[in-house]
Structure 1
């Protein structure tokens, strides 16, 4: 048979290399294992030869391993074609079986494990609230078992502040739900909260990718001048000097933006300070921080510097002020008439609602696991929210995640808009229909949304809300709104992770460790900007021509939501007053984590705000 194989290769114009005996021996093994004739084997080699774009017509021994994989794939595809219901097991299936061996593998009849799995799947998605028989449906076949559906811990409290929780088996769990029926729960639904959206730009269907160098210059210059005006208005620092001018003995005060001398991360030798064009013509000067025992800086940060410049080439800092004084008046960039018009256009008020009290559930995408597009985590979140009846549900993108494996490789037969409207909007409409007029939902898009504009700042979703009684609000990214006079800021770009990668800090000499998550959130508050980093990260499509004022906020919000791939947290952070003994202004900074992490469940946040960040109660809950 080896001679026949050799003859078939020659007939097709292929010659064997020096290791002819080894090649023929392997080819004979392939024929026996896969029931191939010499002619079939050579035909398969021709396909492999063309697919791999091999040079020359010599069959080499080094190609035998790749040829074997090719044969295995051909056989596998032929089996699947003949038996479409056959499941080819992979390493994921093996891991799933091994991890659940104690629960599902029994020495019983062969059909028992399958029956148990089917029973589990049916129970997982038999939710309490199913109006019209379809609400909260996961959209998956009832006989499909997913890793998410097989999780054992549901709605476990990962972390909480100012809130008591029960503990069972050494793990924090939520207090058991009461046994009230659906009718009583709907009667006890909370009052409808008021809603005011601050700013609506950029607007849907806006033109982007047209920013110019002038737009970037104006935006950066505006940030430096805004900070300069704030320092002057505070009365603490009146005489601002040019940091590039030599000052051998006199100590000066200057305001500028931290820059890096070249590519790469900041280090002791690469720190530059760029002042405003009005003060120094936009020139940069090297900044020396050796005298400081503690600091935390990053590219794009606007700071105040006290120090002296003996030679005119290097500013030696003796003090760094990294936050705007709290005592400065509110920003006047948005004129009162314009602000009032925006409020009238977007305010949805209810005079009977309680002021500065708010119950809210916050969750950030992805809202489906990476192994399917069933959106099971979102389904369970809405079922939980239907039981808890919060006044507000804040959902932050991505909703149709462009990084999802099936979306990335185009394996779905539905358009991105169809997935969004069927899997997201239909479930949200069922949710608000069930809870009634008191339910409110805020949607914030992400640059990872495959069905939305890839630009930052980002317009809100263009979704008609006339038939929803204004219960679903589409917010820009970033965006600020007020609910019951509680000011909430949201931004879905992972600025915390990006700042973490660019930050350069020095801890106090006494060795006391600093809370890094609080420090990163403090940078956002102290800079009064949702995205103070410059240059931006490579994957952020920052467009300075598109409503640059959207990135800026004049007053510190009561709640700041910053979803990130970093570890979830809820922290009360001082947004100012850290310098010169000013009174502290506090803000609740929240990273709810991701609702879905790979093939596993993620986390979300349940928050009860009652007028003071220090007394607010919050829980990070694992779904």
Structure 2
């Protein structure tokens, strides 16, 4: 079994250090936690990514942290199985709400609780009553694990700390709520310009009508466009057919695929060439001569090598970065751009922007009170950003109450009351100084389950009480420009999905940043979702994908919310000596994690990345 463990780790591109204690310890983990060698390797990969370890060697010093990771996984699995057992949180609520008599039991029922979802438990009201006229005493006395936090906000990670003058967090500023609201609201602020570069498909479009022809055309066009990009540079020689036997070294372009179902490994890599050059045939790749590569299914690569027998293409070089056209690297100011309707004219300096960015879920898993969202909006009121970017899921289909069907309102009503009404109050308070951007997720229970995904149609709100001034909804994925700073956003967890499919090899003494490499794949492939076939659970519609998934302009900030550990990284494409193109890639994390708070991002962009300050704030 130790050999099986070692083999599974090797299949996941990890090697085990030469130590007599490591393999027996890993075997003990398998036995104690009833894991197969493949499950253990998968758990190690999840721990490796979440802890942001460097190198691909499993060392003895990693085992203690890995054991803690396995223990946490076992606890989460046990908690999911015990759904019908009272937790300590339930007991605390019953104790603090009184003696637990029949009347109080009715008041604490799910139905009664959902009727009070629209009440903001963290916002003080005048005259002892809420805006709705209800007595806030009952809701104020409810104790939730989220409300029992001692520290509301703390800087979890700070990028470019030397430039943190505008973003420094102080306890006095965070906790200062004594300033007069009127004084705060009349304070002059700088508006930001907002231009949509790409936001497809449109609301109301037909989806899930794609055919096999659409899938073929999507892949074929990707290969053809990439072939043209490589050919126009004139740096790689004449293009040849990789499937034809040849003793001479040739250059070919194709799509990386797997020879069977399951995960890709270095023995199962195939190269699918275009129908124009090789009738769409595939050839097996031999990678043993390569000291460094990073490949995943669906990746378009240029490859140099020989095919002496006609059955194996022996690769000597792999070019996994597509040549970036000038119109993508340096897009014109008005290229395919349309201004947001009723957007305020800009009065702020060019390429200077303050923004707060958060990704759902926006409520904890034990209730639908949306307390993390309330805290985020309260924080945004104090910090007064020019842009507030909220990425779904907003009504999370993975929430326990949604999955069990224990809510007594429609998903759309929850979205309107808990999200839109709160954002309406926020924009009315902030005025035109802050613009809110919403992006949906395929996990949104009240929206179309398709990817690419149309924006929320806020113009179809039947109730006149919901005004959407200074609130803009964009598609998933989308690109937009704010104060000439280009943002690219995709709410599908493409990083986590790529991490499970990618295979890589690095020189023994070279340290690699795997998270950075995964994010760079999107820029090199010029696609928000380059993985093919798509991961399980991603409803990719190939009839909508060609234009919607393309990255039309090289972004200054790339937003990729993920279940992986939050991070801020600077990605570089090209040669540093020739002026490499740089972009800031950000995973703000999830605003709510389980029954507690998560993280969000505060960004102060200042003309260039070197002068930009960003902080991941734990709530």
Does TM, normalized by the shorter one, top 0.5? yes
Confirm or deny that 1:192 pairs with 2:191: yes
Within the alignment, does 1:245 sit opposite 2:240 as a pair?
A: no
| Aligned ranges 1:195-594 → 2 under 5 Å | 195-248=194-247, 250-326=248-324, 328-330=325-327, 343=338, 348=343, 350-464=345-459, 470-510=469-509, 512-574=510-572, 576-577=573-574, 582-594=578-590
Normalised TM-score (structure 2): 0.75
- Cα shift at 1:394: 0.2
User: Residue 509 of structure 1: SS of its match in structure 2?
Assistant: coil
Distance in 2, matches of 1:601 and 1:620, equals 13
Cα deviation, 1:105-128, whole Å, max 9, x if unaligned, reads xxxxx99xxxxxxxxxxxx94547
* Aligned-residue offset at 1:409: 1.1
**Cα deviations by residue, 1:68-122 (Å, 9 ceiling, x for unpaired):** xxxxxxxxxxxxxxxxxxxx9823338979xxx9xx9xxxxx99xxxxxxxxxxx
CA distance in 2, matches of 1:143, 1:608: 38
Structure 1 length as normaliser, TM-score? Answer: 0.75
> 1:187, CA displacement in angstroms?
3.2
Change (3 A) 1:294 1:234: same
Whichever of the two has the greater Rg, that structure is 1
Mapped to 2, the partners of 1:440 and 1:316 lie a distance apart of: 54
Quote the Cα distance in structure 1 between the aligned partners of 2:251 and 2:91.
Answer: 62
Q: Do the aligned partners of residues 256 and 95 (structure 1) sit closer, same or farther apart at CA in structure 2, a change above 3 Å counting?
A: farther
Residues matched between the structures, number:
502
8 Å contact kept, 2:486–2:555? yes
Q: Distance in 2 between matches of 1:129 and 1:382?
A: 16
Do 1:128 and 1:383's aligned partners in 2 also have CA atoms closer than 8 Å?
A: no
SS of aligned partner of 1:148: coil
Cα shift readout 1:453-484 (whole Å, capped 9, x = no counterpart): 00000000010299857511110000111111
Question: CA 1:189–1:337 in structure 2 vs 1: closer, same or farther (change >3 Å)?
Answer: closer
CA displacement, residues 376-419 of structure 1 (integer Å, 9 cap, x when unaligned): 00000000000000000000000000111111111010100100
- 1-side partners of 2:160 and 2:563: how far apart? 25
Summarize deviations over 1:431-469 as a string: whole Å, max 9, x none. Answer: 000011111000000000000000000000010299857
| Helix, strand or coil at the partner of 2:191 | coil
Q: How much does 1:346 deviate?
A: 5.1
CA RMSD of aligned residues (A): 3.3
Pair 397,351 (structure 1): closer, same or farther in 2 beyond 3 Å: closer
List per-residue Cα deviations over 1:210-248 (Å, max 9, x = no partner): 110110111111111121121122232241111111221
Q: Is the 8 A contact 1:604 1:622 kept in 2?
A: yes
Call closer, same or farther: CA 1:347–1:225 in 2, change over 3 Å: farther
For the 8 Å contact 2:588–2:600, the answer to whether it is kept is yes
Distance 1:310 1:96 in 2: 73
CA deviation profile, 1:325-370 (whole Å, cap 9, x unmatched): 24x33269x9x99965x51575835142321111110000000001
Q: CA deviation at 1:559?
A: 0.5
1:596 match: 592
Aligned-partner Cα distance in 2 for 1:352–1:585: 28
Task: Give the 3 Å change call, closer, same or farther, for CA 95–163 of structure 1 in structure 2.
Answer: farther
Given that residues 478 and 548 in structure 2 are in contact (C-alpha distance below 8 angstroms), is that contact kept between their aligned partners in structure 1? yes
Going from structure 1 to structure 2, the CA distance change for 1:344 and 1:591 (only over 3 Å counts) comes to closer
Deviation of 1:183 (Å): 3.0
Q: Residues 94 and 343 (structure 1 numbering): CA distance in 2 closer, same or farther, change over 3 Å?
A: closer
